[in-house]
Amino acid sequence: DQQVKQNSPSLSVQEGRISILNCDYTNSMFDYFLWYKKYPAEGPTFLISISSIKDKNEDGRFTVFLNKSAKHLSLHIVPSQPGDSAVYFCAASGQTGANNLFFGTGTRLTVIP
C-alpha cells in the first residue's frame, strides 16, 4: 500500500514558467519529507527537504510547501529550466525507529525550451 503518492506521472512546463509537483501521504506520523531528482541512468539525488515543524522551505529556485492538515506537499521550481527535466520523487520518514524512507512513484518533468 503506497503511503506516499504522486498522482501525476508526468508534467510539461515551458521554460521560465513555474513547475509545481505534488505529493500526498497517508501516514500522519511522517514528520520529515524530501524531494529527490533523478536523471536517466543515475541514482536519485537529494534536492530539498522539510520538517513538519515548518510549512515552507526555500533553496534558490526550489521551494517545498507542506500542508500537514491535508497531508500534502508540493515542490515549486521557478523559473523552470531545461536542465530541470528529470524524474522527481518525494519521500517521507519519521516513524520512530524506522530506518527507511517511503517514496512516491515519481513525476517526470519536462521543461520545454
Partner 1 sequence: GAGVSQSPSNKVTEKGKDVELRCDPISGHTALYWYRQSLGQGLEFLIYFQGNSAPDKSGLPSDRFSAERTGGSVSTLTIQRTQQEDSAVYLCATVLIQGWDTQYFGPGTRLTVL
Q: Which residues bind partner 1 (CB under 8 A)?
A: 2, 4, 6, 32, 34, 36, 41-46, 49, 89, 91, 93, 99-106
**Beta carbon nearer to partner 1, 40 or 113:** 40
Backbone angles phi, psi at 49, to 5 degrees: -135, 170
Cβ 77 to partner 1 shortest distance, Å: 19
Q: Which amino acid appears at position 12 of this protein?
A: S
**Beta carbon nearer to partner 1, 80 or 88:** 88
Distance CA 88, CA 85 (A): 9
How many beta carbons lie within 10 A of that of residue 61, not counting itself?
14
